[in-house]
Amino acid sequence: MTTIAVIIDSPVTPLTSLLPLVFVISVTAMKQGYEDYLRHRADNMVNYSLVTVIRNGVEMDIKCHNIVPGDLVKVVRDCDVPCDLVLLKSSDPHNKCFITTANLDGESNLKTLTVPRGLPSLDVDRLHTLGIIECEYPVTDLYSFNGRIELSETIGNRMSAVPDLDVVNNNFLPLMAENLLLRGSRVKNTEWVVGCAVYTGQMTKLALNSKVTKYKMSSSEIFINKFLIFFLILLISIVTISYFLKRFHDMYRQEHNIYLGEPVSNYQVSQFLQDYFSFLIIFNYLIPISLYVTIEIHKFLGSFYMEWDHELYDAPTNQPCIVNTSDLNEELGQVEILFSDKTGTLTKNEMIFQQCSINGRKFTQKRTGLLEEGKHLLLKLPEFKDDVFNFFQALSVCHTVQVAGSEDADAEALHDNSLVQSDETDNINTTAFTFGDNFTDISEEREESPILEMNGVNGESVNGHVNSDMNPLLNRQNTDKDQHFLGLNKSLHHTHLQILPTRPSSEHLPKMAALILEGKPRPYSAVGMDNASFNHMHEFTFSPQPLSRPNSHVDLKRTISTDADVHQKTHRRTQSYNVPPNKASASANVARTPSRVSRQSSIRSIVSQMNSRESYAAPQHTEAAKIERNESMYRRGVIQSVIEELDYQASSPDEKALVEACAKVGFVYTGDDDDVVTVKIKKSVFRGGKARNVDTLDSVKKIFKADNSTIMKFTRLHVLEFTSDRKRMSVIVRDQKGQIWLYTKGAESHVLPLCDKTPRQLITETQNHINDFAKLGLRTLTVARRKITNSEYIEFSNEITQANNSLTDRKALVESCQQKIERNLELLGATAVEDALQDNVRDTLEALRYAGIKVWVLTGDKVETALNIALSCGHIPDDALKHFIVECQSAENLEEQLNVFENELNLHKDENFALLIDGGSLAFALSKFPERFRDLSVRCRAVLCCRLSPLQKCEVVHLMKTVAGHPITASIGDGANDVSMIQEAHVGLGIVGKEGRQAARCADYAFANFAMVKRMLLVHGHYFSQRLSLLVLYFFYKNLVFMTIQLYFQINSMFSSQTVYDALFLTLYNVVYTALPILVISLTEKVYPMDKLMSEPPLYKKNIRNKRLQWNYFCGWMLLAVYHSSVIYVSGFLMWNNNPAILTTPQTVNFYCYGTFMIHNVVILVNLKLWLSSSYQSYWFIFSIWLSIVGFVLTTFIYNLFNLDLLNGDMLSVYSNLLSSLTFWLLCLVVVIAALIPDFTIKALQALNVNCSSIFPGQKKVPTTKSRCTFFEMTRL
């Protein structure tokens, strides 16, 4: 328009179009540029991260994005792999590397990779001479890799001389998936690995499984574009009609209109363009050009509401909400399908052992003991019967758990030189002093276990209160069978001291012992410890961290006081790189660096002990009871410390939970060495007499007698891995007596039928207990065992070896061997483990369901695991009919399953259905029957997809976007494997998880936990959707009011192509006079309060599918615009036509007075209309309205004081004359009242609770809740 206005003889100055355009473009560019800068800075955090490469035998640090194929990359423990690497060397003595792939497939289980078999062991500085790696072109499959290493001629000749090595063609070694470290995986339980980069950048498997980011357009933009098209058509129609009517008047005007000049006889093209474009320039203000800039500002400022929301802030992690793009704020209020990851999103991926069933009895684990159902006695390890002992012994052996650094985590080898003195007299119990346990738990344990577990020094009961009948330990005979219960009178085993590197000096021990025996708290001042001694006492190795290469040289010089400081000051990839300054000099020679327990935590520990002092000062607590509490505290502290020190790494969270549960009751698995499994039986039975004299070390040693650790060692002979078909895993071991045992654990449906040697009644009772556990949402496993003879094992070993060497039917032959050995089992019991869900997950899913949002869970986890989580978190309702489509081997098989499913849906139309499908079956559905699968699955209340690759997740989201009606989708996840579906969905939500920030960086919005999605959608989504609809409709409304008056004036002026408004008004109307109030209300409007939106999720449906941007709302506002403009123009026209002398001055009003009267009423009316349309009228909003009106008055008044030719106007003294006229003010009052009659009428009807039509939207007040009963409470009534 600006260009046209310059070329032709424009009715207005070109500045009226140029200035608003420049303003709009500038604001939009600044907003988009700022958000691009934030994304660029986030990308640089990864691209510029330092990694260690080895080039020509020299280690150097380079930026991550500078890695090229062929580089030797060194990755240290707990760091992410920067690209796809072929593993060449590992710090593990067995050439293994342990990783987690949670960022790839969602599983945080420990996985094992190995150096290629037959690869020669070379020093790191000589690995570059190894040879050449040839590999296949990168593919999306995460679990396949084919390649080979062509050894150099020198190394190949040397290898060919060794006949035992499997070297193909003397110079080639095969490469498989177990040799490939994928980008995004994390090194665990291995100090460092070195690999050769084969795929980098966009060629990595992770990148291939990630979709290219595309621009996401909000669904509201579709409606806005439709409205713009409507206005554009309206504009062209008005311009065209005006042009022809002008031609009509020019040709057939009456002869007495001589003041218009002579008619043009030879009408040329130039005159046609002049007239047509003149009308186009006049009416182009019908298009709200400032709409987009206002929307941009509205979204940008609105994003801070989410970032500043305290309910979206996670205090433990100091993580606020992150808004990566503000373009989709209103889309949060339109979501109909939510796709969610499982691991790390719905769950914390933390398993907790809760209950168990042993020999028909149900137990609950309470700290370090077991509480049998119906009883109040807390059983400790010395009181375990044979069946309970055998059960936990089986759990401590039947697993594949690895111990991080087991060779140095073993109790006999932990910091020997620095922690244990050579003097045997120093081996006394100091654990109770240094662990800082408070006595509250001891009191609880005392209440649950009133029977004392202690004997006197010579075996007699303490104070005569404990006899042999009360203590099962005294009734046991010292036989081989019960040997594990005996041998408890030796001195303290040095294991306990080795876990505690620092202890108080020997001179303080008697005083501290006396305080403890007296039941008093242990303030350090009481034992004569100064601040230095206090600090020294608490600077012990608590959870060693591996030493890694720092991210920058500055990190080594940085003073770090607590782990929290490290977390806040460093990037995720460098959190493990920082070491205390006093350790930096020795960093090159040690593998671990001790972290520091802050003085603050020690003080808190002391305060907690002092606060609990009163509960132990009761007179009925005897001296023996005090000794028992101290001993029990000591035992729990030792066991908990051993668990923390061992750092279990399991192939599944269930196994880790079971092993940790065994350790808590005293069966401490300390690792395996060359398949020799070591389990320590920690039976801490305190022996002590009367604590009368504790002034010397000798007296202390008589009181504190350490418990003995019985060490059990098993040789692991064979592991029968878990498969989805067998649903169980088994371990064959040989105990110290040479007896071979088969231990099995798995699903009850696949273990109980094999327990032929177990009475049927016991199986029934165990099954009932398992059903009870399942009702509580616990994950269950059944445990059994079998004694195997040597001949049976030899036969099995030969058969399984032959089966593994078979090239055909290997899987069937192996399963046959496994089934042959897994029979005639003896049932030991069942376990119940809770998979810790994210906080408030069930409530969140329930709220989303009531809000009309369907939730799909897409996970790479196993079917059984995913199903258990879906049931426990409430994703699959209890009353839903479940249909499984799993293990389909062909498209025909899948089609049969779909036919059955469709029949069930048609047969039970009123029932709720839940669909579960695995990745293999889904692959056939997506390739062969996508539309049918889509149409059937959308009829389900809940859908669970398991074993999906990242690309399959993306394809599922893409498929569901094509459902009839095109529902708005959202995806939420926490790992790199979720990036594809996050980017594919209309709205991407990321969880800032423990496994990294890949999802958070790629998502549109990110926050700390899943429960926050409820507030994001139901509150912020609802508000943004409702606010944007008001903003859009109001902009079209006010522009139509503005230009309809222009149209009326053209009719009265015989389409003279002259504007009724001065150029100043055309320039400032959209960007100044009416911009601020709508911007403020679009940021503050609240139809419903927040607590009401949270408690009544169905309110979310009021805005879904952009209901407030539908054509009925749009037409209602446009009718109001026509009415308001008609009132303004007709009232002014009638007044000016009947009484032109309305001013106090002698002269009649001129043309500019007429136009100024119109714009004056327009500005006041459209602002008051917005005020009446709002529901939440804040002070800022009221102030913005008056500021806009007063701003118009002031600018117009100042403008009319000068005669400016720049804007082609003649406004000198025009507005001053109008303001001095009483007729002008009365007429303005009449116009405003007459125009707002419909609005006041609707307000009155609403006050009378009359259900009026929604043809004039946005008129509802903030509803008042007369009852405190929430929606969920009402549904339960």
- Residue 476: predicted pLDDT: 37
487: pLDDT strictly greater than 70:
no
In the chain, % helix, strand, coil (3-state, to 5) comes to 50, 15, 35
- Residue 291: predicted pLDDT: 87
Report the pLDDT averaged over residues 464-474. Answer: 36
- Residue 126: predicted pLDDT: 83
The tokens for 624 are 């023996």
pTM of the predicted model as reported, rounded to 2 decimal places: 0.64
What pLDDT digit, counting tens, does each position of 333-352 carry? 999 999 998 877 888 767 88
In three-state form (DSSP H/G/I as H, E/B as E, the rest C), the secondary structure along 1055-1075 is: CCCCCCCCHHHHHHHHHHHCH
What pLDDT digit, counting tens, does each position of 638-696 carry? 555 555 556 787 767 788 889 999 988 889 898 887 778 999 887 653 333 333 333 33
For residue 1169, which phi and psi values (nearest 5 degrees)? -60, -40
Using alpha carbons, list the distances in angstroms from residue 391 to 376, 745, 774. 21, 11, 20
> Which stretches does DSSP call E strand in 56-95?
58-63, 72-76, 84-90
Binding site residue list = 341-343, 655, 722, 745, 779, 859-861, 947, 953, 974, 977-978
1166: pLDDT strictly greater than 90:
yes
CA dihedral 421, 424, 425, 426 (to 10 degrees): 30
Instruction: Quickly list DSSP for 991-1004.
Output: E-BTTBSHHHHHSS
- Find the length of the chain: 1277
The tokens for 285 are 């203000």
- Residue 277: predicted pLDDT: 83
Residue 765: CB atoms within 10 A of its CB come to 16
The DSSP secondary-structure symbol of 906 reads H
For residue 1024, which of 310, 335, 207 has the smallest C-alpha distance?
A: 335
Q: Are 644 and 543 in contact (CB under 8 A)?
A: yes
CA dihedral 25, 28, 29, 33 (to 10 degrees): 180
Strands 987-991 and 968-973, sheet pairing = parallel
Element (H, E) at 746: strand 740-746
In the chain, the amino acid numbered 1042 is: F
The tokens for 522 are 């242990």
Distance CA 352, CA 340 (A): 23
Q: Are 1260 and 1175 in contact (CB under 8 A)?
A: yes
Percentage of the residues of the chain whose pLDDT score is greater than 70: 69
Report the pLDDT averaged over residues 533-551. Answer: 33
> Which stretches does DSSP call E strand in 16-71?
50-55, 58-63
What is the torsional sign of CA 577, 582, 587, 589?
negative
- Residue 1029: predicted pLDDT: 94
What confidence category does residue 56 fall into, taking pLDDT thresholds of 50, 70 and 90? confident
What confidence category does residue 382 fall into, taking pLDDT thresholds of 50, 70 and 90? confident
Q: Are 885 and 894 in contact (CB under 8 A)?
A: yes
Distance CA 18, CA 900 (A): 66
For residue 485, which phi and psi values (nearest 5 degrees)? -95, -10
Q: Are 78 and 593 in contact (CB under 8 A)?
A: no
Binding site residue list for ATP = 341-343, 655, 722, 745, 779, 859-861, 947, 953, 977-978
1142: pLDDT strictly greater than 90:
no
Q: Are 868 and 832 in contact (CB under 8 A)?
A: no
The tokens for 527 are 């034992």
For residue 494, which of 396, 595, 404, 423 has the smallest C-alpha distance?
A: 423
The gap from C-alpha 677 to its chain's centroid, in whole angstroms, comes to: 37
Element (H, E) at 670: strand 667-673
Distance CA 108, CA 156 (A): 38
- If DSSP codes are grouped into helix, strand and coil, which group holds residue 1180? helix
What confidence category does residue 711 fall into, taking pLDDT thresholds of 50, 70 and 90? confident
Report the pLDDT averaged over residues 1023-1037. Answer: 94
Comparing 459 with 844, the larger pLDDT belongs to 844
- Residue 1043: predicted pLDDT: 93
Element (H, E) at 345: none
Q: Are 720 and 676 in contact (CB under 8 A)?
A: no
Residue 716: CB atoms within 10 A of its CB come to 16
Using alpha carbons, list the distances in angstroms from residue 1010 to 114, 342, 1081. 36, 10, 30
Residues forming the active site: 341
Distance CA 625, CA 400 (A): 41
Comparing 939 with 40, the larger pLDDT belongs to 939
Q: What is the CA radius of gyration of the chain?
A: 40
- Residue 403: predicted pLDDT: 78
In the chain, the amino acid numbered 848 is: L
423: pLDDT strictly greater than 60:
no
Residue 477: CB atoms within 10 A of its CB come to 8
For residue 342, which of 963, 881, 999, 866 has the smallest C-alpha distance?
A: 866
Residue 417: half-sphere exposure toward Cβ, Cα within 13 Å: 1
Report the pLDDT averaged over residues 1103-1127. Answer: 92
Mean pLDDT of the chain: 74
Residues β-bridged to residue 348: none
Q: Are 1220 and 1150 in contact (CB under 8 A)?
A: no
Residue 88: half-sphere exposure toward Cβ, Cα within 13 Å: 30
What pLDDT digit, counting tens, does each position of 411-420 carry? 333 333 333 3
> Which stretches does DSSP call E strand in 1169-1209?
none
For residue 665, which of 391, 451, 406 has the smallest C-alpha distance?
A: 391
Percentage of the residues of the chain whose pLDDT score is greater than 90: 31
Q: What angle do CA 788, 792, 797 make, to 5 degrees?
A: 110
What pLDDT digit, counting tens, does each position of 830-842 carry? 999 887 788 899 9
The DSSP secondary-structure symbol of 213 reads P
Binding site residue list for Mg(2+) = 341, 343, 974, 978
The tokens for 474 are 């005294």
357: pLDDT strictly greater than 50:
yes
Residues β-bridged to residue 112: 98
462: pLDDT strictly greater than 50:
no
- Residue 1217: predicted pLDDT: 84
What confidence category does residue 17 fall into, taking pLDDT thresholds of 50, 70 and 90? low
**Which segment, 94-108, 141-155, 1084-1098, 1237-1251, is predicted with the most confidence on average?**
1084-1098
Report the pLDDT averaged over residues 159-176. Answer: 59
**Which segment, 391-395, 439-443, 450-454, 475-479, is predicted with the most confidence on average?**
391-395
